Homo-oligomer: A and B are copies of this chain.
Amino acid sequence: MEILKKRIIKDGLAVGTEILKVDSFLNHQVDVTLFELIGAEFRTRFDDVADKVDKILTIEASGIAVAAFTAKYFGSVPVVFAKKEQPSTMAEDYYFSEVMSFTKRKLSSIRIGKKFLAAGERCLIIDDFLAHGQAALGLARIAQQAGAEVLGAGIVIEKEFQEGGARLREKGYRVESLAVVSKIEDGAIYFKE
């Protein structure tokens, strides 16, 4: 997605060899005009399965707006966002999965209430980043627990060198990434051709 890559080059910040900061438009400040285009692009990428999508799954916090704008282009199906901890108001049954956050350097548990994901439901996983793949794999494990089907994972920015994409694809999941970063080096961001 050219407009996204241009925006990453313009406003993204490469830190060391691992971190790409895009907090001015994606995950702290949000550019909703760009998010509309991202939602539309996911529709184009997954158009062949669009009629089958029952639900969009994502994970709080920065996946939520991307997923919500994407849902509009898939018939406004419900978006379910996994929660990262168990608030006291969420006492009912839930599916959960352990997820390691490398940026936050901690293990956390993600949860989805059982009533929001049913056996046979067909889901798209949508997230802002795919790095080591922990969040997407965690959501896929939750879908598996529920007996739901994962039609694919739509990712705004995939950091190819951190191998989450490879892990998901090895497991047979279809992954559509709108920008694939192959390398971050000396302050420069390189995209996969």
Interface presence of A191 (CB below 8 A)? no
> Does A72 interact with chain B (Cβ within 8 Å)?
yes
Number of copies: 2
Q: Is A153 part of the binding interface, using a Cβ–Cβ cutoff of 8 Å? A: no
How many residues of A sit at the interface, in one of the four size bands? Answer: 35 or more
Tell me what chain A mostly uses at the interface: helix, strand, loop, or mixed: mixed
Q: Would you give the shortest CB distance from A142 to chain B, in whole angstroms?
A: 13
* Cα(A29)–Cα(B115), bound, Å: 10
Render A66-105 as a binary contact track against B, CB cut-off 8 A, 1 for contact. 0111011000101111010101111000000000000111
The distance in angstroms between the C-alpha atoms of A87 and B120, with both chains bound, is: 36
- At the interface, yes or no: A4 with Cβ under 8 Å from chain B? no
Q: Which chain B residues lie closer than 8 Å to A29 at the CB level?
A: 78-80, 113, 116
Q: Are A28 and B103 in contact (CB under 8 A)?
A: no
Give the interface centre of A32, A67, A78, A81 by most chain B CB atoms within 10 Å: A32
